[in-house]
Amino acid sequence: MPHPNDAAPLARRFIVIGTSNGGLAALRTVVAQLPADLPAAVLVTMHIGKQHSVLPTLLETHTPMPVTFAEDGKAPLEGHIYIAPPDLHLLLDSGAMRLVRGAKENHSRPAIDPLFRSAAITLRRAVIGVVLTGDLDDGTVGLQAIKASGGVTVVQDPAEAEAPSMPASALRYASVDHCLPLAEIGKCLVALVGKPDEADSPAPQPRRIEPFETEHEICLQGGSISVKQLSRHGEISNLTCPECGGGLWEMGFAPPRFRCHTGHSYTVKTLAEQQDVVIEEALWVAIRSLHEKKALLDRQVAAAQLSDRPDVAAEYQLAGQQLDAHVEALMRLIGSLDNEIDKYRRVSDPSEV
């Protein structure tokens, strides 16, 4: 049955929301405060990865607005909520929604920064960016883009967030207009969309927007970029991309951010997280290889014993014992790395202390 809002006009104001861990409850609280006749479209990116999602169904029971997955090429309507589908970045371009299976950003697809960045570039002052509960710091750079374009920024109070890292990062590095508890965010959004675009909004800052425009084009085209283009906005580092092994360029942002020429993009936190994964995977590969080597030595021990060569069997047994010791050392190393990583996270993220 058609929803009454299906005949709504094309949206001229936009609310873009990003969330991750704890996001379902937070989104339900916010959308429950939005009226059916909201004079804006709401676009949501939540870190849902590849898995099948029923997020629209889970939200539509808490709001009078229709909630659907975004459709590529469709123009957003007022009074509608659009959700980024699994494994696709949701972008805005030339007045329409675009779905792109480009390179992951912050090790996520869909990611929040691409949506916020595209909204900032496409809509300028007509966008309101909202960061809710979530781990790490996706959305921080996107809020910077929205602010540079003259938009308004809203962040959930980290003190009450289920996962405070994302909103805390936004408060630390982005110029945030409103930091509010969940119970007040929806009401704030209703008030903001009722104001003219220009009300209380600073003028866009073209020099700050230019790097975001380049990154938007990169994402829109699927992620790949020439080294020459990348070097215009960043400096080559001595780090490599954990996902493709390519070189990483450090982009001129705070917090520091890195991008490879195939399109993968990381903040310091997400890069450190992926380096942890790469290190642990390498250690488990080493352990597996040692187990296989030990299995081969055990066969050689048995063969030497069958052929009545006790001295040779003893040498193979000794070599096997040394391999067992190496495995134990690597297992201890994995455990100690986990402890060091936890300490690093507590030091680098004050919200988690």
Q: What is the CATH number of the domain that holds 144?
A: 3.40.50.180
- Which is catalytic among the residues 113, 137, 138, 349? 138
**Is there a domain that residue 343 lies in?**
yes
Query: Is the distance from CB of 169 to CB of 140 less than 8 angstroms?
Result: yes
Say if residue 149 is in the same domain as residue 231.
no
Say if residue 88 is in the same domain as residue 128.
yes
Number of neighbours of residue 194 by Cβ within 10 angstroms: 12
pLDDT at residue 351, rounded to an integer: 42
pLDDT at residue 198, rounded to an integer: 53
**Is there a domain that residue 217 lies in?**
no
**Nearest partner of 329 among 297, 294, 286, judged by Cα:** 286
Say if residue 17 is in the same domain as residue 92.
yes
pLDDT at residue 347, rounded to an integer: 44
Q: How confident is the model at residue 85 (pLDDT cuts 50, 70, 90)?
A: very high
pLDDT at residue 277, rounded to an integer: 82
Say if residue 184 is in the same domain as residue 276.
no
What is the full DSSP assignment across 294-338? HHHHHHHHHHHHHTT-HHHHHHHHHHHHHHHHHHHHHHHHHHHHH
H or E element in which residue 272 lies = helix 268-306
pLDDT at 137 over 90: no
Q: What are phi and psi of 174, to 5 degrees?
A: -110, 155
Cis peptide before 350 (omega within 30 of 0): no
Give the bridge partners for 19, in sequence order. 46
**Is there a domain that residue 202 lies in?**
no
Say if residue 189 is in the same domain as residue 305.
no
Say if residue 22 is in the same domain as residue 142.
yes
**Is there a domain that residue 208 lies in?**
no
Q: Is 172 exposed, middle or buried (0-12, 13-18, 19+ CB in 10 A)?
A: middle
**Is there a domain that residue 296 lies in?**
yes
**Count of structural domains within the chain:** 3
**Is there a domain that residue 204 lies in?**
no
**Is there a domain that residue 205 lies in?**
no
- Do strands 14-19 and 41-46 pair parallel, antiparallel, or not at all (unpaired)? parallel
Say if residue 88 is in the same domain as residue 56.
yes
**Is there a domain that residue 158 lies in?**
yes
Say if residue 28 is in the same domain as residue 102.
yes
CA dist 37 → 9, 40, 64, 74 (Å)? 11, 9, 9, 20
pLDDT digits (tens, 9 = 90+) for 178-202: 999 999 999 999 999 987 655 555 5
Q: Which of 138-152, 266-280, 301-315 is least confident?
A: 266-280
Phi-psi category of residue 222: left, alpha or beta, with phi > 0 → left and psi -120 to 50 → alpha: left
**Nearest partner of 18 among 129, 102, 135, judged by Cα:** 129
- Which is catalytic among the residues 47, 80, 89, 178? 47
Q: Is 47 a catalytic residue?
A: yes
Domain extent, residue 228, equals: 224-263
Say if residue 250 is in the same domain as residue 335.
no
SS3 of residue 257 by DSSP: strand
